[in-house]
Structure 1
Amino acid sequence: MQLPFVTLDVFTSTRFEGNPLAVISVPASRKTELTQAKKQKIAQEFNLSETVFMHEPSSSPSSNDDDDDQKKEKEGATHLQIDIFTIESELPFAGHPTIGSAVVAKFHWYPAVDTLLTKSGPIHIAESPPSGQGRSMRARISHDVRLHQKTLADVIPAAQHASFPGLSHRLPAVRDAELRAPVFSIVRGMTFALVQLPSLELLGRLDRGLRLDFDHLPGPSLLDEDRQPAGFVARYYYGKEEEEDGDVNVRKIRTRMLELGFEDPATGSAASALAAYLTGADRAEHVRFEITQGVEMGRRSVIQVETKAEVQQGGDMKIRELWLGGEAVVVQYGTLVVD
């Protein structure tokens, strides 16, 4: 089996910055042959933070692009199923795979596409003006947000706060922020401890090698009972940037993701979670965020998030719309050979 693929750098218009992504085209005739186990092995072969499998929207037994009927069907496709894999497991949703897939679909393979079908729900996509040389897309995220009742301080015994493996003990101020950080889900199965730090200087001093085992915390479940199983859980660190002479209606934030034993250049799902949480905490009805990540590792990424919310009858804020946006540039095209 031979499958075409493309790699991109996402959340950037500059090649070799942003977050790398592989998108593999899966012909409709090969869908049943490409098992979950094979997809996982392929993701491990690419060894990127995420790999996407984009399923061709056709029941035709032919995968030859020279076939006129199939070409028309592909060009007229509006809905595309995508599966997102890390090197360890499948994810229901992830940000840079969504934006990267949107760019590949809209500008390379399926120009009529307007919706990506993910495990977390349908995601409407639309082109947006680029700020650089890349292609820019926006995606309306099918969110299911939840601020969980517990923090790490509640599930790790107090006697272990100063020694529990995976916490930032070298930087006590960071460790204390980790313990009290709000735990927030953007969708079921994607949850982040949102760790606010008092300065960008402290953000730059984080330890890259730490890994907190969220699956084996010693106390009660970190997530609310009705959100089990937990799925993917990680820490997302952030510090607020000073406003410069520019668009004062955009909140600028610097972030880092260091959880799985490595640093992630851009984490769109975590950026979406952070934006949704801050919108609710600030009781804001319409907010635009510019979230910059990956600076410390030389892969600067710029993630755009726009939220719209409304006050409910009981006084709580409800996120009505959440749009994730950014640019992406193609780095390479190729063919994957699968036995």
Structure 2
Amino acid sequence: MQLPFATLDVFTSTRLEGNPLAVVSVPASRRAELTQAKKQKIAQEFNLSETVFMHQPAKKGDDAGDGVGRGEDKDASQVEIDIFTTESELPFAGHPTIGSAVLARFHWYPAVDTLLTKSGPIHLDVSSSSGKDKKGQPQSARARISHDVRLHQKTLADVIPPGQHDSYPGLSHHLPAVRAAELAAPVFSIVRGMTFVLVCVPSLELLGQLDPGLRLDFDNLPGGPLLDADRQPPAGFVARYYYYTGPGSNSYVRKMRTRMLELGAEDPATGSAASALAAYLAVAVNQTATAKFEITQGVEMGRRSVIRVETRSDVQQREAAPAVDDGKEGAQVELREVWLGGEAVVVQYGTLVVD
């Protein structure tokens, strides 16, 4: 079986920076043959943070496609994608979404306006881009992220016994201020199965001193599950996302530096975590109707990535306290839209041969 593929660098306009992504094109006739186990092995072969399997939309009455340009509907408005890490399938991930959007819209399927993912349909907005990538230049896209947000009740301090706070494996014991922030950090899901412990680091210097080798076993915490009961089981993907807000922000765009280290190796750009962070700050902290964020990640590992997120919410101020204390203060905020945006550039095309 021969499968066309492309690789891209995402959240960057410069090749060999940003976050690498592999996208494998799956003909309709090969769909059943390309099992979950084979997809997982292919993701391990690419050995990137994520690999996407983009299912070719077959022409009506024709499911015999065997490669890009054969038997497929080039005018399709929807394309289905599956997202895999080297360990498992994800319902949603940010840089695979933006990379797939750029590749589909500007290179393979120019009429596509929706990506179909396990987390739901993702609407694309590429109206601000300059056109097709005729000279190998990066293209940008925005994606309206399907969301099912939840601020969970517990923190790591609640599920790690107090007597182990200074010694529990995986915490940043070499940086006491960061360890304290990890234990107290809010736990926030952007969709079911994608949850982040949002750790606010006190300084840019401390952000640079984080240990990329640390990893927490979120499935076996001593005090029981970290997530709310109705989000168990399974917990899905859970990771810490570190952020620092420094100078450079203005009234229009909040700028932040971030790092993702939970996977045992650093991730250059994590769009799902950036979306979760922006949604949390907009809904639970700032309580604003419209908020824009510019999140820079991957600097410490030499793969600078720029992630842009815009949130839109309905905000209503409470006129009086509720009859029963519901734990909520101030404004009532309902998150309506989360838009994830960034650039991507194709690095290579090839053919994957699978037995």
Q: With structure 2 as the length reference, what TM-score do the two structures score?
A: 0.91
- Would the alpha carbon gap of residues 64 and 162 (structure 1) be closer, same or farther in structure 2, given more than 3 Å must change? closer
SS class of match (2:13)? coil
Match of 1:140 among 140, 144, 147: 144
Residue number in structure 1 paired with 2:193: 189
SS of the residue corresponding to residue 184 of structure 1 reads strand
Shift in Å, 1:128: 4.9
Residues 198-248 of structure 1: per-residue CA shift (max 9 Å, x gap): 11111111011111111110002100000112100000000002026xx64
Could you list the structure 1 runs, at least 4 aligned residues long, displaced by more than 6 angstroms after superposition. none
* 1:337 correspondence with 2:342: no
SS in 1 for 2:211: coil
Partner of 2:301: 297
CA offset at residue 64 of structure 1? 5.4
The CA distance in 2 between the partners of 1:62 and 1:259, in whole Å, is 39
Q: Does 1:45 align with 2:45?
A: yes
Rounded Cα–Cα distance in structure 2 between residues aligned with 1:234 and 1:104: 28
Name the CA distance, whole Å, in 2 between partners of 1:204 and 1:74.
47
The one-letter code matched in structure 1 to 2:187 is V
TM normalised by structure 1 equals 0.95
Please give the alpha-carbon distance, in whole angstroms, between the structure 2 residues aligned to 1:196 and 1:30.
45
Distance in 2, Cα, partners of 1:155 & 1:97? 32
Partner of 1:180: 184
CA shift at 1:66, angstroms?
Answer: 5.9
List gaps (5 residues or longer) in structure 1: none
SS of alignment partner, residue 230 of structure 2: helix
- Cα shift readout 1:298-330 (whole Å, capped 9, x = no counterpart): 000000000001125774311101000000001
What RMSD over aligned residues (CA atoms) do the two structures have, in Å? 1.6
Q: Return the letter of the residue paired with 1:125.
A: L
Does residue 1:237 correspond to 2:246, yes or no?
A: no
Distance 1:63 1:36 in 2: 19
What CA distance in whole angstroms lies between the structure 1 residues aligned with 2:235 and 2:353? 34
* Residue type of the alignment partner of 1:230: A
Matched, 1:215 2:231: no
CA distance in 2, matches of 1:16, 1:156: 40
Using the TM superposition, give the Cα deviation of residue 332 of structure 1 relative to its aligned residue in structure 2, in angstroms. Answer: 0.5
Letter in 2 for 1:242: P
Does structure 1 retain, via aligned residues, the 8 Å contact 2:143–2:339? yes
Deviations 1:72-100 (A, max 9, x none): x5221011110000000000000000000
Q: CA deviation at 1:159?
A: 0.3
1:163 is aligned to 2:179: no
SS across alignment from 1:263? coil
Structure 2: 5+ residue stretches without partners: 131-135, 323-330
Partner of 2:344: 328
With 137-146 and 120-129 compared, the bigger mean Cα shift is at: 120-129
Report the secondary structure of 1:292's partner residue: strand
- 1:81-96 to 2 correspondences below 5 Å: 81-96=80-95
User: In structure 2, the residue corresponding to 1:290 is in which secondary structure?
Assistant: strand
**Sequence identity percentage:** 75
Give the length in aligned residue pairs: 333
Question: Do the aligned residues in 1 keep the contact of 2:289 with 2:312 (CA within 8 Å)?
Answer: yes
The answer to whether 1:111 aligns with 2:110 is yes
| Deviations 1:119-158 (CA, angstroms, capped at 9, x unpaired) | 0000001215469941000000000000000000000000
